[in-house]
Structure 1
Amino acid sequence: MFELFDAVDALIASRSPLPPPAERKRLRQAHGLTLDEVAAALQVRRATVSGWEAGKTEPRPPERDAYARMLKQLAQLYPANAPVLPEDTAIPEAPAVAAAPAPSAVEPARARTAPTGPAAEPANTALRPAAPAAVPRPAVATRPTSRRPAAKKAAPAATPAGGAETRFENGPLAVVDVADGQVLAYCVGGLVLDVPAKSLPALVEWTLREGRLGQPKLSGSGKDADPLIVLTEAACEHYGLPVTLTKEERLAGRIPERHKVIKQLTRAGWQLTKRGFGPWARIYRPAQGAERSCVQLCIPSWDALDTRYWADAAQLPPADLARLLGTYAARVMTPRGSTAVTGLELMTALHPPTRASEPDATGRRHSEHNPGSLGKDPVDCAPCEAPDGHPLLADLPRFHQRTPAEVLVEEAYDWARPLTDAECLRPHLVGIDVNMAFAAGANGLMVGLGAPTHVKNPVFDPKLPGSWLVDLSHVDLSRVKLAKQWTDLDASLLPSPFTPKGEHPEGPAWYATPTVAYAVELGYDVTPIEAWVRYDNGRYLDGWYNRLRDAYLATMADLGVHADMPPADFLAAMDGYRQCDPQLAVVVSAIKATVKGGIGKLRERPRGEGWKPGQPWRALARPTWRPDIRAAVISRTRINMHRKIVKHAAFTGQYPVAVLSDCAVYASDGPSPLDFLPYRDGKPLPGGFKLGVNPGLVKWEGTQSVLWGEGVREQFNAPELNLARYIKDGTVTDQDSGE
């Protein structure tokens, strides 16, 4: 009987009455709620709530009932006849004062600033019934002369659910600059604070005691992000630091320990991590219980912001740099170093290694393993997963070249072939690039959480993460199974899915689970010889993927590129989107670099540590040093690309002429991807390439002429030069071509 009651309740919930889409948006804004806050409360994506408000989609159970409940309560608070100011009405600025107004006269924390830039959510501008008129809260003052310039750009749209906490009300970071002898801290949202600190130790103290900087933890069992202070060149000079590093200091990655500023920190009781005082320095005191005392410094003039990912961010004015880094911090996390370091740290922040236990018999809690995490202790990889020079391989003869039957080689594609006669008659070469390809490869992927187990003659299990020694040379790409039907293909025009160079395997070799599973998917039996498998496994990267996906999509939406756009509209929106807001375009670049760099860090190699082959290096002490997870993500990414290539070839008879990682190049009769991608009534080939902004979909990478491609290959006498490397702008150098 109770099951019937539950079924009836579910049926009622599935038809929970909802107001029209425009009213849903009005009610949310009337209460000062952001899309991110509603999405977090309902445990859906930001874009999902946006779709409900636009009328593009409708919520389904169980979210529908909760959404309806929220709207019903808001409707009682804000009747339809309540006046609402236009969305672009900014809250007027108030002069800074030393004392804050009475609590009853101020809006909640989320309404204290009025973002004005394209990355901002609409301010809380509704006139609330049964409440006094909103009085804008002055800029938070650490001294009576704090200020907020009226012309500064906006704070990022994404904020933690529930609004900023009071202890972090000035945002996650500040850019410290010196102008006319006055030290100023530029925070997100245009807030500028006076900084009284006259030395670097005093600046650290001010940041922790008065700055109100930081970011709430991303996981219930995690830790709040430490405040980040970015020092401009003028600030470096003011605090006694060099503006740039010498060649020796750049190679060492730090200034000498005898430097006077380091001595000042030491005398004040502050410590540095083992990496010392470099472009990203962490200054701390040992934790007192749960109380952390740690500040991170970023010094752009020391090349802290790699121009490959951050473009010219280091040259931006302080307020603009605060906005750029603040947007990244709000949507990804407060930077902890390079984009690669931050990508790795994000994994741990979302899945902390430990959590507090339930109270024991005495009522005390203790630290215990957090299920689904990698734990706090590193685990050894399998010998086949170990890179050259790893301690597990110390007994190998010097200069021994490991064979495919000895080492796991799962890398991204770098494959090309000569054009056929028919392709040479086509005028164009068109490149398409998979959005966030490695993020898409991580989505839903089962990875090992613990140490591997060695198994002889195992039965292959596609759901079991691990490394498998198996012979896949019998897989014939000229005849494969697609949708349970055998299909004939021209194997000479296809890369092998089993090797990065696209070469057909010649015998037993080590592969990650997704690669072997694809051989089975293509219709072939596999018989592993041995394997290293991980019975303790889970979808460790799902939260990481979701966080980065949402950051990417939200920022692209701010630049005018939205999900579910028709193909032609998407291509038009992508054309010049970076010029809409160059700073947000840099954030997009940094988000993508966070994905690739984070995956790469899972198998970090020794760097400048006086290391010798056979000796351990620093990264091996991390629980996140996991070459098996890196291999699984890259394997799945490569297989995803090959699957689309095969389905495209089977349906159209078109084959790629080059593939480089997430970019594929096709000969085409026209210059646009729409000239060779099959669309019918606006719908793409199922399982094939689809134009769109979402991770896993493709965008236009570049178009060159077939004559250009043939000319470049002839110039460098390289018939199989990978044209995907140069398709974007057509520029080829001797260094690029390997000459």
Structure 2
Amino acid sequence: MASEEELFASVDALLEEEPQLPPPPERARLREAAGITQARLATALKTTTQTVKNWENGRSEPKPPRLEAYQRLLNGWAAKYPAPGTVAAPAPSPAPQPVPETFSGPAVPEPEPGAPEAPAVQQTAPEPERPAARPAATSRRPARKRVVPNIGAAPYQHGPLAVLDGDGSAYGVEGIVLDCPATTVPELVEWTLSESGLGAPRLHRNGKDSDPLIVLTAAAAVKLGLPERLEGHEQRRSLRLPEDHPVVKQVAKAKWQLTQRGFGPWARIYRKATGNQRQCVQFAVLSWDALDARAWPGVADMEPADAARVLGIYAQRVLTPRGSTAVSGLELMTALRPPTRAVQDRATGQWVSGYNPGSLGTEPVDPAPPEATQEHPVVVHGGWKGGFLDEEAYQWVRDVDLLTGEEAALPFAVGLDLNTAFLAAAARLVVGLSGPEYVQRPVFDKKIPGSWLVDLSHIELDPRLPSPFTPSGERPEGPAWYQTHTVAYAQELGYNVAPIEAYLRRETGAYLDPWHDRLKTAYVDTLADLGVTKDLSDTEFLAAMERHKQADPALAAVLAAIKATVKGGVGKLRERPQGRHYKEGERWPALERPTWRPDIRAAVISKARVNMHRKMLKMAEFTGLYPLAVLSDCVVYPSPGASPLDFLPYSTSGKPIPGTFRLGPTPGLAKLEGVQAMSWAVDLMEQGHNPARHIKGDGHDAKFDEGE
């Protein structure tokens, strides 16, 4: 006779078994009896129509948590619609239990009033607004409603990307989880393109849709036959699988292709397009350091669903990641200003590809020699000896001998950081769209973007401020090349300028305006989601900024990625050659793209540096305060208190003085970077170090600038 212990063990084993579903044909019969289509069932269970088909023909089985939900639905239908020849049994009344807001049993979203049926093919319309949740059909619990995300219309109804784990679950945006049966990389590519419903519509009517992104966890990579880590002695960005690796061979055997970068942390697998139909999937391998921790803090270590949330929000507000944040920043420029559009040939009447006005076109443009880098072919082969633009961000420390006794006696050094200063500089920035034109003895015109050789060494400014003309803050020593904004600022300060020669661009436009607008909205919206809104007082703003990263680490990671996208995108406009095998004077791959434009990078940085100097000059006029140090978008001031409110100027009505540093959450306004003792700052200055680099946190952190 069995003992009680043995019986309990047997019962426990039964309890641990997965729910048993009816045979596949019965599943289909029950669904049809209920009058529910496979597409509606797929929406309710947050999966794909093809996955439901697989369940009903026996090709695959659902996994938790959909397994339990699917069984619950089938049991309910079985009670309502018994098989012929059987008697219906009353459905058991479930015991009351708390129900999550986002799920109270299968339901189908109601169409919005007046909304058309989802189109069978993608619309060529501007990107929709951020998806908002909409109510679905009421569940049997009258007090609750299930909310199903409105991700988008076919063919991208499941959002732009998914994070794949080792168990075949692909986690998408808005909590969607898809079943992915693929066990090899080629199978994963086929599933992504034919069944997943992943991808994103174009950001501009003349642009291209974003390819779906599959992010692989370490477990998923190993399951697909990839190494968990990608090791090597080259720079991280150049690491890739060897050509004889089994996965690379699988891809080739299945008639797919890899780009010239091969299979690295970021990989693209594609077939040549047939007509307008792109066939391309991009991959990011988390355990291969695809996501730089400085730009995506903590994301690589998140659970797949959380990582999908971070990347999904970024994709919806910026664009689907296409590499590093620097690469994505550059790609966003092209996505918003496509180089071509459809134009009608007058002779034949046929629609052909033509130049899209306001864009940079399809052909690369060589820079003027002073705009190039020293290794560029126009410099090496042209024998250029005339100097170069030095339009870089500030790295300046005031001479410690110029500190007054009153300043040294103040107790604190307070760092202010301008929100996305390069983004603010890109607003309404007119840049050159064409190639450079050489001019001797030109008359300066601040409306013409270009590079000007001019002598600004005679301009003498207060030594307690950095010179606005050099990144070091030192006074120029003679004629030098400057971008238009720098020369215009000298004129603004009341000095005559007489350029000796110039390289000017006659065809101009505000190329970066849509880039600025989209990133500004993304930045402001993400800060608002973290509790930092435009309607806060300065005191409330400082308090909200102090706690915003703890409010939601996932959104804080999105914010960090947006900021890195701005800096990195600007840096990519002048990408230098990579690899130890490069020889000076050779062309490198970046030169072959129209967006290799060091002159546009110089324009952004010049305007940002001038904006910073203008604010410091206004501060000195209104408060008599001068900075201790500046590093890019961070400036350090001596202060009587530990808050910016202790030294920033306000009018008698309590409003900030126009033109000075102002606190706030929008690009170009300031936030607190850090506070240290004044003695700490003076000590660093005496050692030749920059307090602005280390003022954040415990005084040892350095600012992160992602760029070239």
Provide the TM-score with structure 2 as the length reference: 0.79
- Which whole-Å CA distance do the structure 1 matches of 2:345 and 2:406 have between them? 73
Query: What do the CA deviations read for 1:128-151 (whole angstroms, capped 9, x no partner)?
Result: xxxxx8368xxxxxxxxxxxxx99
Question: Quick one: structure 1 residues 458 and 506, their matched pair in 2 at CA, closer, same or farther if it must change by over 3 Å?
Answer: same
Judge conservation of contact 2:162–2:172 (CA < 8 Å) in 1: yes
Query: What do the CA deviations read for 1:543-566 (whole angstroms, capped 9, x no partner)?
Result: 000000000000000000011421
- Which whole-Å CA distance do the structure 2 matches of 1:384 and 1:102 have between them? 61
Query: What do the CA deviations read for 1:438-490 (whole angstroms, capped 9, x no partner)?
Result: 0001111011111110000001110100000001112232xxxxxxxxxxxxx
- Post-superposition offset of 1:673: 0.3
- Post-superposition offset of 1:103: 8.2
Corresponding position of 1:123: 133
- Does 2:168 align with 1:176? no
Counting only pairs closer than 5 Å after superposition, residues 29-428 of structure 1 correspond to structure 2 as: 90=101, 92-95=103-106, 123-125=133-135, 134=137, 164-179=152-167, 183-248=168-233, 252-358=238-344, 360=346, 362-395=348-381, 406-417=387-398, 418=400, 419-428=403-412
TM-align CA RMSD: 2.8
Corresponding position of 1:444: 428
Question: Quick one: structure 1 residues 167 and 396, their matched pair in 2 at CA, closer, same or farther if it must change by over 3 Å?
Answer: closer
Corresponding position of 1:660: 631
Query: What do the CA deviations read for 1:569-613 (whole angstroms, capped 9, x no partner)?
Result: 111111111000011000000000000000000000011162101
Q: Identity across aligned pairs (percent)?
A: 56
Question: Quick one: structure 1 residues 206 and 414, their matched pair in 2 at CA, closer, same or farther if it must change by over 3 Å?
Answer: same
Counterpart pick for 1:430 among 414, 421, 428? 414
Counterpart pick for 1:576 among 547, 552, 561? 547
SS in 1 for 2:393: coil
Counterpart of 2:693 in structure 1: which amino acid? R
SS in 1 for 2:155: helix
- Post-superposition offset of 1:712: 3.7
Corresponding position of 1:688: 660
Judge conservation of contact 1:430–1:665 (CA < 8 Å) in 2: yes
Question: Quick one: structure 1 residues 154 and 164, their matched pair in 2 at CA, closer, same or farther if it must change by over 3 Å?
Answer: closer
Question: Quick one: structure 1 residues 724 and 291, their matched pair in 2 at CA, closer, same or farther if it must change by over 3 Å?
Answer: same
- Post-superposition offset of 1:122: 6.1
Query: What do the CA deviations read for 1:403-427 (whole angstroms, capped 9, x no partner)?
Result: xx51111000000111322211111
- Post-superposition offset of 1:107: 8.7
- Which whole-Å CA distance do the structure 1 matches of 2:310 and 2:648 have between them? 36
SS in 2 for 1:166: coil
Corresponding position of 2:672: 700
Question: Quick one: structure 1 residues 701 and 105, their matched pair in 2 at CA, closer, same or farther if it must change by over 3 Å?
Answer: closer
Corresponding position of 1:56: none
Query: What do the CA deviations read for 1:223-264 (whole angstroms, capped 9, x no partner)?
Result: 000000001111111100011011247654211111110110
Judge conservation of contact 1:564–1:692 (CA < 8 Å) in 2: no
- Post-superposition offset of 1:101: 9.5
Question: Quick one: structure 1 residues 135 and 609, their matched pair in 2 at CA, closer, same or farther if it must change by over 3 Å?
Answer: farther
Counterpart pick for 2:502 among 526, 531, 539? 531
- Which whole-Å CA distance do the structure 1 matches of 2:351 and 2:101 have between them? 48
Question: Quick one: structure 1 residues 105 and 686, their matched pair in 2 at CA, closer, same or farther if it must change by over 3 Å?
Answer: closer
Runs of 5+ consecutive residues of structure 1 not aligned to the other structure: 1-87, 111-118, 126-132, 137-149, 478-490
Judge conservation of contact 2:266–2:290 (CA < 8 Å) in 1: yes
- Which whole-Å CA distance do the structure 2 matches of 1:327 and 1:278 have between them? 24
Question: Quick one: structure 1 residues 406 and 713, their matched pair in 2 at CA, closer, same or farther if it must change by over 3 Å?
Answer: closer
- Post-superposition offset of 1:343: 0.1
Corresponding position of 1:649: 620
In the alignment of these two chains, the number of paired residues is: 586
Corresponding position of 1:722: 690
- Which whole-Å CA distance do the structure 2 matches of 1:379 and 1:235 have between them? 42
Counterpart of 1:600 in structure 2: which amino acid? G
- Which whole-Å CA distance do the structure 2 matches of 1:104 and 1:230 have between them? 32
SS in 1 for 2:166: strand
- Which whole-Å CA distance do the structure 1 matches of 2:703 and 2:640 have between them? 31
SS in 2 for 1:168: coil
- Post-superposition offset of 1:435: 0.3
Question: Quick one: structure 1 residues 367 and 650, their matched pair in 2 at CA, closer, same or farther if it must change by over 3 Å?
Answer: same
SS in 2 for 1:492: coil
Query: What do the CA deviations read for 1:16-71 (whole angstroms, capped 9, x no partner)?
Result: xxxxxxxxxxxxxxxxxxxxxxxxxxxxxxxxxxxxxxxxxxxxxxxxxxxxxxxx
Structure possessing the higher radius of gyration over alpha carbons: 2
Judge conservation of contact 1:353–1:376 (CA < 8 Å) in 2: yes
SS in 1 for 2:294: helix
Corresponding position of 1:61: none
Provide the TM-score with structure 1 as the length reference: 0.76
SS in 2 for 1:553: helix
- Which whole-Å CA distance do the structure 2 matches of 1:343 and 1:109 have between them? 35
- Which whole-Å CA distance do the structure 2 matches of 1:600 and 1:697 have between them? 22
Query: What do the CA deviations read for 1:280-300 (whole angstroms, capped 9, x no partner)?
Result: 001000111111000000001
Counting only pairs closer than 5 Å after superposition, residues 480-495 of structure 1 correspond to structure 2 as: 491-495=462-466
Corresponding position of 1:42: none
- Post-superposition offset of 1:679: 1.3
SS in 2 for 1:304: coil
- Post-superposition offset of 1:388: 1.2
Counterpart of 2:640 in structure 1: which amino acid? D
Counterpart of 1:557 in structure 2: which amino acid? A
Runs of 5+ consecutive residues of structure 2 not aligned to the other structure: 1-98, 119-128, 140-144
Counterpart of 1:442 in structure 2: which amino acid? A
Judge conservation of contact 1:90–1:123 (CA < 8 Å) in 2: no
Corresponding position of 1:709: 681
SS in 2 for 1:308: coil
Judge conservation of contact 2:427–2:513 (CA < 8 Å) in 1: yes
- Post-superposition offset of 1:492: 1.7
Question: Quick one: structure 1 residues 244 and 89, their matched pair in 2 at CA, closer, same or farther if it must change by over 3 Å?
Answer: closer
Counterpart of 1:275 in structure 2: which amino acid? R
Judge conservation of contact 2:216–2:286 (CA < 8 Å) in 1: yes
Counterpart of 2:393 in structure 1: which amino acid? A
Judge conservation of contact 2:694–2:702 (CA < 8 Å) in 1: no
Corresponding position of 1:147: none
Query: What do the CA deviations read for 1:504-539 (whole angstroms, capped 9, x no partner)?
Result: 011110000100010111111111001000001100
SS in 2 for 1:683: coil
Judge conservation of contact 2:693–2:702 (CA < 8 Å) in 1: no
- Post-superposition offset of 1:362: 4.2
Question: Quick one: structure 1 residues 733 and 134, their matched pair in 2 at CA, closer, same or farther if it must change by over 3 Å?
Answer: closer
SS in 1 for 2:416: strand
SS in 2 for 1:357: strand
- Which whole-Å CA distance do the structure 1 matches of 2:496 and 2:638 have between them? 34
SS in 1 for 2:482: strand
Counterpart of 1:500 in structure 2: which amino acid? P
SS in 1 for 2:532: coil
- Which whole-Å CA distance do the structure 2 matches of 1:164 and 1:296 have between them? 20
- Which whole-Å CA distance do the structure 2 matches of 1:407 and 1:283 have between them? 40
- Post-superposition offset of 1:713: 4.3
Query: What do the CA deviations read for 1:83-111 (whole angstroms, capped 9, x no partner)?
Result: xxxxx994644438xxx89989999899x
SS in 1 for 2:413: strand
